[in-house]
Structure 1
Amino acid sequence: MSSDGGPTFSVKLFIDKEKKKVLFAESDKDFVDVLFSFLTLPLGTIVRLFDKKSQVGCLDELYKSVESLGEDHFQTKACKAMLLAPLNAAAVHCNRLKVKVVDKNPMYRCKNASCRVTAFSSVPHAICYCKNVVQYIGEWTNKNCRDSDSKEDAVFVIGVAKFIITDDLQVAPASTRVMFSLIEKYGIPEKENIQEKVIQLNSAKMIGLLRRALLTKQVLTGLYFDVAILANPADMCMLSESMFAKQALETEPKFKAIKVRLVHAKDDSVLYAEVGQDFVDLVFGLLSTPLGTIMKTFRELPQTGCVDSIYKSVAASVKQECQSLLLSPVLAPFFVCSSNVMQVQELALRWLVIGSTSCFELNPKSVNDRAYIKDGPMNFMVTDDLQIRPFCLINTLEFLRACKVPKDKLVEKELTLNKTQVLKLVGAAFGTSKALSSVLMPSKK
């Protein structure tokens, strides 16, 4: 137990005292299981864990935009709640972790006591078939799920006693081969200044480790020596098609080109774009996308962190039957947006046992629509860092005045974004605070 009463696990660090650097760590399955669970987290959950200060690309501004946008712009009130607290499709597995990064799994049922509909929702404000709003009834656990009978001790990883984890979170089962590799790399055991230190990690420490994994390359060193995390300097100016995994550019018959009207300064970055519902639905949908999906889609995405090390370690350290959960994570039911450009699959409709009743899951969106945002004539203003607000003359004039760009320096043009450009935009939203400029006005250097 930690000092706050929560569960902990121990990790042994091997530290170079002279250089004040953690060389590597040794741990059992519990720590490594949590590391791999990071790949299942929706991006919106990550932003919420860090109180909208994740410093990951444009995600903080996207999340704030959902918060500030009026409920009348969404298909339903529940759609806004879905984006602010997106569900983890692998929650039934993550509930078994010894230390949980996210431990809230709310359950809602119709507030009408006489309702005969055997349904539930994991989203607040969902509407029952009897037209009543659902209400919170508690947290659901693995015991509620009809298909969660696993008695295995480990959640994701293979059944070995120990794992080796490098400072940048490369994971491998402990073995003679790995041991000799470490001996060669760090001069063990000749070096006398290598110290062994066992530390205890709880939920708060693992959340802090996640933030370092997103923003730094020396995660364990930063954690042990409490190194300050510097502001994320990531600024991608040129994005080539080589950044995509091969399957990302496969033909998507349902993809529709997206039109935007761009306003920028001559020979400078984008000021804002006027966009429609389709663009907003696309970028808002990014908040429900699992971290592992980003790693799968963008194989060469420039980033300051080392989540890619965790992703690349799955093949050697995770049970075969669990690998797809991490390498190709799916969305929770009903969370696919209308512009599913990354072709993410959706979890099959879930059934929970509540009391003695088997209940199906309600659709929090409109019955025949996947979109979060309501279709209509309303356009939106999107800034370079993906702040989104309803488009109106007053907002636009105030924004342009604040930019202090002379009128004769302003350029307006209409663009039609194809799938490659849209994919680049999604990657840029994760990797830079200048998403529109990096895709629509890339540097010529």
Structure 2
Amino acid sequence: MASKEEPKFPLRLLVDKEKNRVVVAESKSDLIDILFSFLTLPLGTIIRLVSNNQHDYIHEINDQPQEVFGCINNLYKSVENLSDGVFWNNICKTMLLRPRNSCESLCKKLKVNLDDSESIKYFMCGKCCRGSKGFLSTFVGASCSCGKLMDKEMKLYGDFSEESYNFDDGVFVKKGSLYLIFDDLKVLQNSPGNSAQQLIQLGYKNFNKLTQISLNIGLKEILDILKQSLISKTPLTDIFLANEEFIRMYTFTPKQGPKVEKWTNIKLKVMVRKSKKKILYAEAEGDFVDFLLSFLTTPIGSILEQLNGNFSLGCMENLHQSVKEFNPSWFIRHLGNPLPNPKVASQFGFMKQPLINICEEKVPIYWYGKGVVKNYICYSNVNGVISKNKSVIKNPEAMKLFDPRSSYGTIESALGFVKRPSLFIVWDDLQVTPLVNTSSISFLHKMNVPLDDLEEHVVSIGEIEALNLLGASLTSSKEALTEGLFHLLKKPKDEAIA
């Protein structure tokens, strides 16, 4: 059987050859839909996609180690290296390495869906397949309360979600028009007025120095745009004009605010090296580690919304701002617009999240019965039927949904991804290692730091501190804890202690 040919997307570039730069590009809606879908991708997915894009032109040429952005890559690698025993179960580790996209059903309609994660499947235990007495799982390999694997796959019936919509008019933006993409990923609706105004602002009074180039791009180029959008201000020039000397752009300034103590705040011990004025590491319990790991399951669009321009991450924020400034009439109306602030997928969030504006999808209620009701007629099904729609189920019973984030597998007991109680070392560059059966004497000796140069502080992580850590983790390649928290420690020690 012949393999399906990879879709290609026409792109017309307006290039200033003297300056070796792409000024603007024109594209159809199919490519704009894919660019806007970047915002729905969780950070863990972005790291995986960029890392797997083996034909990275910059690192092929320079033979340098692959870089994503900030310390997030270290966090992702830490999860890869942690043993399954650190987590409640092996599912939690997979959740962090391959987080679910809350806009999955929309992104599956794209001409190229960057996220290659498997679609949601539903499983029950064959022994306990008795409605409200049994569990339903959306994760492969979950254990039922009876101890057996939930390996009986169920088909979801009557799901009247985005799956049932006609996407012939587009996924996020409407078809039938061209769109303008500038070198910094600012996107505008195509019009002579927009084109003229933007070209004048860029210093072009006419087309004398500009040349048009037409090309077709595919998955590789789109993944390159994704990566460059996170580290550069000129991703189109970098990729299509082979600019190897681009300036990496990511900056962050810690946000200041009143210190508010809440019972939900996370306590954290940090060890400071006084002579270097930096945090060496943090001694952290499960809540703080789960908070950091939740970065991997959070969509980049939601992160940009929370940080609200308080940092610079390449030019991804320009794409985000374009979505917010677009005329609503250019979006597909019946779907709303999840792009400015996409939610964390259901069951993929941290239960004590200090970033109060990062929202997790509401967990749906699933119903089980031995048949369905269609046109007022009941049809029996020997294997049983599940649905989110109670009205289509014969004798419906609400089901218990398995949640991997606890030792009991129930939503009511869900905490996070790692077991409790647990203790970890989080290094300044966000490498995470479990502190299990580790001699404190050996640990300090191996650090090879004068003991009188060390000072321990206790800090309280609330919303502002959490925002600062998030911003620093995305922009600092080696000192996320120092850049995010050290400003709290400039007071005398006894004032810094919570």
| Fold-level similarity (TM above 0.5) | yes
Change (3 A) 1:426 1:136: farther
Question: What TM-score, normalized by structure 2, do the two folds share?
Answer: 0.77
Is 1:146 the counterpart of 2:154? The answer is: no
Alignment partner, residue 192 of structure 2: 176
User: Within 5 A, what are the aligned runs for 1:17-416?
Assistant: 17-51=17-51, 53-110=66-123, 116=129, 121-128=137-144, 131-135=147-151, 145-147=159-161, 148-152=163-167, 153-159=169-175, 161-185=177-201, 190-228=206-244, 234=250, 236=252, 238-241=253-256, 256-267=264-275, 268-315=277-324, 316=326, 319=331, 322=335, 324-343=337-356, 344-349=358-363, 357-359=385-387, 362-366=402-406, 367=410, 368-376=413-421, 378-392=422-436, 394=438, 400=444, 403-416=447-460
What amino acid does structure 2 have at the position aligned with 1:363? D
Deviation at 1:219, TM superposition (A): 1.0
- How many Å separate the matches in 1 of 2:261 and 2:145? 33
Alpha carbons 2:234, 2:246 under 8 Å: kept:
no
- How many Å separate the matches in 1 of 2:446 and 2:123? 48
**What SS does structure 2 have at the residue aligned with 1:50?**
helix
Change (3 A) 1:233 1:412: farther
- How many Å separate the matches in 2 of 1:149 and 1:131? 36
- How many Å separate the matches in 2 of 1:212 and 1:300? 19
Deviation at 1:403, TM superposition (A): 4.8
State which structure, 1 or 2, has the greater radius of gyration over its C-alpha atoms.
2
- Deviation per residue, 1:25-73 (Å, 9 max, x gap): 0111111111110110001111111238552222111112222222222
Deviation at 1:406, TM superposition (A): 2.1
After TM superposition, the structure 1 stretch with the greater mean CA deviation from structure 2, 388-397 or 23-32, is: 388-397
- How many Å separate the matches in 2 of 1:227 and 1:120? 51
Change (3 A) 1:382 1:121: same
For the aligned residues, what is the CA RMSD? Answer: 3.5
Change (3 A) 1:186 1:108: closer
Deviation at 1:124, TM superposition (A): 3.1
**What SS does structure 1 have at the residue aligned with 2:172?**
coil
Alpha carbons 1:65, 1:389 under 8 Å: kept:
yes
- Stretches of 4+ moved more than 6 A in 1? 249-253, 351-356
Deviation at 1:176, TM superposition (A): 2.9
What 5-or-longer segments of structure 1 have no aligned partner? 243-248
- How many Å separate the matches in 2 of 1:394 and 1:240? 36
- Deviation per residue, 1:102-150 (Å, 9 max, x gap): 1332444548656636876443332345543345979x99x98431221
Alpha carbons 1:108, 1:120 under 8 Å: kept:
no
Deviation at 1:201, TM superposition (A): 1.9
Alignment partner, residue 395 of structure 2: none
- How many Å separate the matches in 1 of 2:200 and 2:485? 47
What amino acid does structure 2 have at the position aligned with 1:308? E
- How many Å separate the matches in 1 of 2:361 and 2:211? 46
Deviation at 1:161, TM superposition (A): 0.7
**What SS does structure 1 have at the residue aligned with 2:339?**
helix
- Deviation per residue, 1:69-115 (Å, 9 max, x gap): 22222223211211111000000000011112113324445486566
- How many Å separate the matches in 2 of 1:413 and 1:252? 17
Q: Number of residue pairs matched?
A: 431
What amino acid does structure 1 have at the position aligned with 2:483? S
- How many Å separate the matches in 2 of 1:166 and 1:113? 55
Which of 405, 411, 421 is the matching residue for 2:465? Answer: 421
Deviation at 1:202, TM superposition (A): 1.6
Deviation at 1:212, TM superposition (A): 0.5
- How many Å separate the matches in 1 of 2:143 and 2:259? 37
- How many Å separate the matches in 1 of 2:117 and 2:349? 21
**What SS does structure 2 have at the residue aligned with 1:12?**
strand
**What SS does structure 2 have at the residue aligned with 1:210?**
helix
Change (3 A) 1:250 1:410: closer
**What SS does structure 2 have at the residue aligned with 1:274?**
strand
Change (3 A) 1:121 1:107: farther
What 5-or-longer segments of structure 2 have no aligned partner? 53-65, 373-380, 389-400, 491-498
Alpha carbons 2:9, 2:217 under 8 Å: kept:
yes
Question: What TM-score, normalized by structure 1, do the two folds share?
Answer: 0.85
What amino acid does structure 2 have at the position aligned with 1:28? K
What amino acid does structure 2 have at the position aligned with 1:146? F
**What SS does structure 2 have at the residue aligned with 1:303?**
strand
**What SS does structure 2 have at the residue aligned with 1:416?**
strand
What amino acid does structure 1 have at the position aligned with 2:429? D
**What SS does structure 2 have at the residue aligned with 1:325?**
coil
Which of 485, 489, 492 is the matching residue for 1:440? Answer: 485
Deviation at 1:379, TM superposition (A): 1.4
- How many Å separate the matches in 2 of 1:233 and 1:291? 17
Change (3 A) 1:381 1:395: farther
Deviation at 1:17, TM superposition (A): 1.6
Change (3 A) 1:292 1:252: farther
Change (3 A) 1:72 1:342: same
What amino acid does structure 2 have at the position aligned with 1:274? E
Deviation at 1:251, TM superposition (A): 9.0
Change (3 A) 1:105 1:214: same
Change (3 A) 1:14 1:230: closer
Change (3 A) 1:106 1:127: farther
- How many Å separate the matches in 2 of 1:6 and 1:292? 27
Alpha carbons 2:264, 2:354 under 8 Å: kept:
no
Alpha carbons 2:98, 2:117 under 8 Å: kept:
no
Structure with bigger RCO (C-alpha 8 Å, 6+ apart): 1
